[in-house]
Structure 1
Amino acid sequence: MKVVYEAANLIDAHLVRHALEAADIPVFLRGEQLLGGMGELPLFGVVAVCVPDLAWPQARAIVEAMPLGEAPQERDADDPGLAGEGWLPA
């Protein structure tokens, strides 16, 4: 097994896991059970998404295409896409 992604949090790890499983790549989350014991463990690099060695190149391409850790793009108030959503800005 090779690490294809070191997650900052459990949500990111599961997003990557589901994307890889949708591509029929088997996934193992290393360190998922350790998140409750942060007392003596490092805060970063605890959860890693691992895949079989042969599937690593395909898995890496999928992970790199995902918008992980990117800030959401701001939308312009004049964007016509906002009018149909039924939400008003606060």
Structure 2
Amino acid sequence: MQIAYNARDLTEAHIIAGLLGSHGIDSHVGGHYLQGALGEIGAAGFTNVHVEDGDYLEARRLIAEYEGAATSDGGRIPPVNDAGEFYARWFLLLLLAVAVGFVLTF
């Protein structure tokens, strides 16, 4: 599965998943439990819409149409914004470094 869309929040992710479903593309919304870690404040960049590899290009085309991002440069589809995934990787790396430092001190 590939990330077809990085949503701002859970509601937007389900809107995109519904859009894809209405065109026959199965999708999975991930990040439900990560948003609850920040309480009532909407967490950004943690909710993603995943699609199967074979449906990725069609899903990106539909999302681009939905966003009004259809380009005039020959139909090039804009890439997925992976900022949330980037920060999550660095957070996990920092968490690992702290855990290793904690283990080595005891």
Please indicate the TM-score interval, normalised by the length of the shorter structure: 0.5 to 0.7
Contact 2:28 2:50 in 1 (8 A): yes
| TM-score for the superposition, normalised by structure 1 | 0.66
- State the alpha-carbon separation in 1 of the partners of residues 33 and 16 from structure 2: 17
- State the alpha-carbon separation in 1 of the partners of residues 47 and 9 from structure 2: 7
Higher relative CO (Cα under 8 Å, sequence separation at least 6) belongs to: 1
Select the structure that is richer in helix.
2
Q: Is the counterpart of residue 56 in structure 1 residue 56 in structure 2? A: yes
Q: CA deviation at 1:67?
A: 3.1
Give the structure 2 partner of residue 83 of structure 1: none
| TM-score for the superposition, normalised by structure 2 | 0.56
Give the structure 2 partner of residue 3 of structure 1: 3
* Identity of matched residues, %: 28
Q: Structure 1, unaligned stretches of length 5 or more?
A: 69-90
For residue 14 of structure 1, what is the amino acid of its counterpart?
Answer: H
Q: Structure 2, unaligned stretches of length 5 or more?
A: 69-106
Alignment length, in residue pairs? 65
C-alpha root-mean-square deviation of aligned residues, in Å?
Answer: 1.6
Flag as ranges the 4+ runs of structure 1 deviating above 6 A.
none
Give the structure 2 partner of residue 78 of structure 1: none
